[in-house]
């Protein structure tokens, strides 16, 4: 059970009935492990601000500390509620760590937390204009490779041309990565400054657009790689 207190969610400890903040791992009164709150997020779980710039060494240190505190072996002789809580927190911890240690996954998760989650297999409304020529060239090379494979021509003969088309799109992906890094830095600056919600949302909108386009490019390159038989 949980309640809202001055904008902060308070949950009730199942062992002693005391109130504890939803981002606490242990009851401040009886020090028992708490059931996992359903309204938190990966950032608060690690005690981190909702920012995209994360010190990975610090994240790993927090992960190892919490792993030891939640490990089910410590709760072998505990109450059923404590054993369940340790398993829930250990599983959630692993999911949180896998997500936050990867920049792209971290960005997508932030969008989800902020109510702007990417749809599964999200695609840009239209191919970005600056990519049109490169996408056309890549698709043309892929079609030639498919025809060559059907006629028995070794794909290695066409791979050099394909790689040339790939390099152009790779440059576009690198540009998107730089833009994502800049937007991530802008988001962190806005969070630190306590910027208005509208300003922060505008940055998230840009971030979302860049992620969709970057994922589209990544999928194009993966499709190309699968289409070329290894020589």
Q: Distance between CA 113 and CA 59 in Å, rounded?
A: 19
Average confidence score pLDDT of the chain: 86
Structure confidence at residue 3 as a pLDDT band (50, 70, 90): very low
Rounded mean pLDDT of 224-230?
A: 70
Q: Rounded to two decimals, what is the model's pTM? A: 0.85
Dihedral sign for Cα atoms in the order 155, 156, 161, 164: positive
In angstroms, the Cα distances linking 121 to 52, 71, 134 are: 22, 35, 21
Rounded mean pLDDT of 204-218?
A: 91
Radius of gyration of the chain (CA): 24
Rounded mean pLDDT of 10-38?
A: 87
pLDDT of 119 higher than 90: no
Q: Is 20 helix (H, G, I), strand (E, B) or coil?
A: strand
pLDDT, residue 228, reads: 67
pLDDT, residue 73, reads: 92
Q: Distance between CA 147 and CA 150 in Å, rounded?
A: 5
């Amino acid at each position: 059970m949980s309640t809202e207190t001055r904008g902060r969610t308070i949950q009730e400890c199942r062992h002693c009935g005391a109130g504890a903040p939803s981002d606490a791992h242990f009851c401040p009164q009886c020090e028992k492990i708490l059931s996992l709150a359903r309204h938190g997020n990966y950032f608060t779980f690690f005690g981190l601000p909702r920012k995209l710039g994360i010190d990975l060494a610090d994240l790993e240190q927090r992960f190892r500390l919490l792993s030891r505190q939640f490990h089910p072996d410590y709760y072998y002789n505990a109450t059923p509620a404590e054993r369940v809580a340790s398993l829930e927190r250990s599983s959630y911890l692993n999911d949180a760590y896998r997500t936050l240690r990867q920049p792209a996954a971290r960005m997508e998760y932030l969008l989800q937390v902020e109510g702007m989650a990417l749809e599964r297999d999200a695609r840009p409304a239209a191919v970005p204009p600056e990519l049109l020529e490169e996408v056309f060239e890549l698709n043309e090379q892929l079609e030639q490779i498919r025809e060559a494979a059907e006629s028995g021509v070794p794909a290695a003969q066409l791979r050099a041309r394909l790689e040339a088309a790939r390099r152009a799109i790779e440059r576009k992906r690198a540009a998107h990565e730089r833009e994502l890094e800049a937007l991530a830095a802008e988001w962190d600056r806005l969070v630190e400054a306590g910027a208005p919600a509208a300003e922060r949302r505008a940055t998230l909108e840009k971030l979302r657009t860049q992620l969709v386009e970057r994922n589209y490019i990544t999928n194009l390159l993966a499709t190309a790689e699968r289409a070329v038989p290894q020589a």
